[in-house]
Amino acid sequence: EDQVTQSPEALRLQEGESSSLNCSYTVSGLRGLFWYRQDPGKGPEFLFTLYSAGEEKEKERLKATLTKKESFLHITAPKPEDSATYLCAVTSSNTGKLIFGQGTTLQVKP
Amino acid sequence: ETGVTQSPTHLIKTRGQQVTLRCSSQSGHNTVSWYQQALGQGPQFIFQYYREEENGRGNFPPRFSGLQFPNYSSELNVNALELDDSALYLCASSRSQGYGYTFGSGTRLTVV
């Protein structure tokens, strides 16, 4: 069964303290791995799509990487405005549906 | 380029009632999918429509049904509402299945 697990569930950082979020997945034929940011009461906002192991993408203070079993979202020198829930999801070659993890809630304190 | 818009933003219904939620896809997107997100959880796939045909369904009972219209807008209908149906309902659209989903802001449904 296709499955996504994110860790940690919650993460508190001081402003400027870099860290990484983990997304482990099992899927029958990965089509794509997605990272989204979600603010309270709002819909997920697209960050990155990764398609193959070894691929990396960057956007401002965020960098996403992909291996055959997991993905990392690295946050460099975070700011309070980076506080949000970060969701990881995959799609398989069999279906187009997104399978989400439970998310990591990040809080960055000034 | 307009994004995905959902209506209404908030809704309160009584157990046993029926509800219809609406979604306008992003321009150029022919695939729409619906998700249910309980508090503190990741979104759960309900179903997906491609060119007006349902082509995927998650573990939701038949009282959850939907439609996609020729202009690619969509509806989610839920009959016989239960308290556990209280959640944020998200619509997402894509140019092609499995790639680049854009989400709306969601409809917060509360069943009392």
Beta-carbon contacts of residue B62 (< 8 Å; ≥ 6 apart): none
B12-66 residue pLDDT tens: 999 999 999 999 998 888 899 999 999 999 999 999 998 889 988 999 999 999 9
Measured between beta carbons, the chain B residues lying within 8 angstroms of A49 are 99-100
Beta-carbon contacts of residue B92 (< 8 Å; ≥ 6 apart): A98, B4, B32, B33, B34, B35, B101, B102, B103, B104
Specify the pLDDT at position B51.
87
Share of chain B above pLDDT 90, in %: 78
**Would you call A94 an interface residue with chain B, using a CB distance cutoff of 8 Å?**
no
Residues 42-71 (A) with a CB less than 8 A from some CB of B: 42-46, 49
A7-17 residue pLDDT tens: 999 999 999 99
Which stretches of chain A score pLDDT less than 50? none
* Gap between the Cα atoms of B11 and A30, Å rounded: 36
Burial of B61 (0-12, 13-18, 19+ CB in 10 A): exposed
Identify the H or E element spanning B56: strand B53-57
Nearest CA-CA distance, residue B5 and chain A, Å:
10
- R_g of chain B computed on alpha carbons: 13
